[in-house]
Structure formats: C-alpha cells, structure tokens
Amino acid sequence: MTGRFAGRRVIVTGASRGIGVGVAERFAAEGASVAITGRTRTKHDHLAGSLEATAARLARYASPVAIIVADLTDENDRMRIVPEATEALGGHIEILVNNAAAAMYAPVAEFPLRRRRIIFEANVHAPLDLAQAVVPAMRAAGEGWIVNLSSATAKGWGGPPFETGVLGTTTSMYGASKAALNRMTNGLAAELYGTGVRVNTVEPRAAVLTEGAAELVGHSLRPEQIESLEEMVEGVLSLCDCPAELTGRTCVSLDLIDQLHLVVHNLDGTRR
C-alpha cells in the first residue's frame, strides 16, 4: 500500500460485486474515502455479493466507506448519489468510476423496447447524470477524474461473412450502449479540456471472469481470452490520477499496462 489516493473522495458504482468490488477495494487500500453504490444492500436473489459485503471487505483498510443503495435505471434514485456521497465523505467528489452496467442479451430483431430502455438508462443516461453532477465541483477545484467502463462489444463486426463470437449478435444492444458511452465520454472530455477534469473510458482486452461473466461465458473461454481482475483494476486506476493530456480516450486495460509500464498490484495494494 502506497497511500496513492490518500484523502481522495471517490464514487464507485456497481460495487456490490465484480469489477466494482475490486476497484473499491484498491481505492480503500490506497487511502481513499469511497462511496459504494448498487442495488443490493444485503443479498441478491441469485448472484453473490452485496454492498454490505463490500463494505466489510473494505473495513480492514480503515478508510471511510459510505453505502448508497440506488437503482441507476431510476432517474430520481440516481440523482441522490452524488449529494449523499458528498455529505457522507465530507467534501466534493474528486473521482467518479462509472462501473455499473445493465447487460441483457437477445437477437436485435427481437429485442424488447423495455429491455432496451433499461440498458440505455443504466449504461448511458446514468453515467452522464452522475458526471454532470460531479463536474461543477471538479471544475471549481481545477481537477477531477471520470472513468467510464466500456466494452469491446462497442465495435461493429466486419463482413460479410460476420464473425460474431461466442454470444453472436445478442450483444449488439449492449454494445450499442457502450458505443454511445464512448462517444459521450469523448465529447465531455473535449468540453472540459483545460479545466483539469479528465474523462476517459476503459475496457478489458479479454474477459474478466466476474460472477456474472463466469455464469454467462466462463465455460466457453480459453485461458488466453481471460484477464485477471487485478489487471483490469490497474487499468482503471491508471486513469484516476492521470495527467491532463490523457483525456477523451477509449482505452484498453492491458494496453494501458503496457503503454504506461504499469506494475500490476493485488487488490490490497501490494505488488503481485
């Protein structure tokens, strides 16, 4: 542990399981005060993990932790997050990690409108609402970092013939939301360039086998198609104290590790 983020105030969405837990733990290990958000306070109906379990995991680092239960698909619910985190952590938010996402898969020709709306509420509108909520204080302070987690599914397939991968075209609507997130990130970064606020997206190069991903595709992946949670977290954190010139990018976790010559750490901040 280096105290790299000592005194920083951070929001991590989707922190009841998966990548969000890893990011939140690493921030706490590095001295940050962390507000963790998600829908599951105590127990999910079929997935492991909860905000209370994450908070218990973070308690070992003696860093302040705030639990905020919120549904990002509900506009009124998500608009509470930044004010509550600001009050709980004792100051404005300096780092926002938009990790939470809704992932539902079905063929495009059959994809129901209700599910499309959920995906875009969680993956596009919520990250932008949270970013808009933290930007004024970041701009006033002259610095801030917003990191949105994206996906390689944002890229279209060349063809025909089309090589659509393990899940085929069923990832298209999810990927469309992530493509929108990438473009939105780039535009916000351009608007804020020169203010000290950096805005980037980062996506895994390979699959990170979180609880949900392992259940969905874990059985069909080869070892070289998988990256560790620690590697993904290292990529995320590299964009949470990056210089002002590193902004508006759509980044890839393992590429960042190579390009920036990063040392991958364990979630407790120690070297692997």
User: What confidence tens digit (pLDDT) does each residue in 217-258 have?
Assistant: 445 555 656 899 999 999 999 999 999 999 999 999 999 999
The rounded mean pLDDT for the chain is 93
Task: Band the pLDDT of 212: cuts 50, 70, 90.
Answer: low
For the record, the structure tokens of 109 come out as 């020709």
The whole-number pLDDT of residue 46 equals 67
Least confident of 58-62, 150-154, 212-216: 212-216
Just list the catalytic residues.
174
Per-residue pLDDT, 226: 81
Mean pLDDT of 199-214: 79
The H-assigned helical ranges of 59-171 are: 75-78, 81-89, 113-120, 126-141
Which CATH code, of 3.40.50.720, 2.40.30.10, 3.30.70.1290, 3.40.50.300, is assigned to 9-104+122-155+176-259?
3.40.50.720
Predicted local distance difference test score (pLDDT) of residue 127:
98
Domain map (residue ranges) of the chain: 9-104+122-155+176-259
User: pLDDT tens across 19-48, in order?
Assistant: 999 999 999 999 999 999 999 898 776 677
Instruction: Pick the more confident residue, 212 or 126.
Output: 126
What are the tens digits of pLDDT across the range 63-109?
999 999 999 999 999 999 999 999 999 999 999 999 999 999 999 99
Binning pLDDT at 50, 70 and 90, where does residue 206 land? confident
The two structure tokens encoding residue 10: 């951070």
Greatest C-alpha distance within the chain: 55
Residues 6+ away with beta carbon under 8 Å from 247: 189, 192, 193, 197, 198, 199, 200
pLDDT at 19: 97
Q: List CB contacts of 83: < 8 A, sequence separation 6 or more.
A: 133
How many CA atoms does the CB half-sphere of 216 hold within 13 Å? 17
Q: pTM of this prediction?
A: 0.94
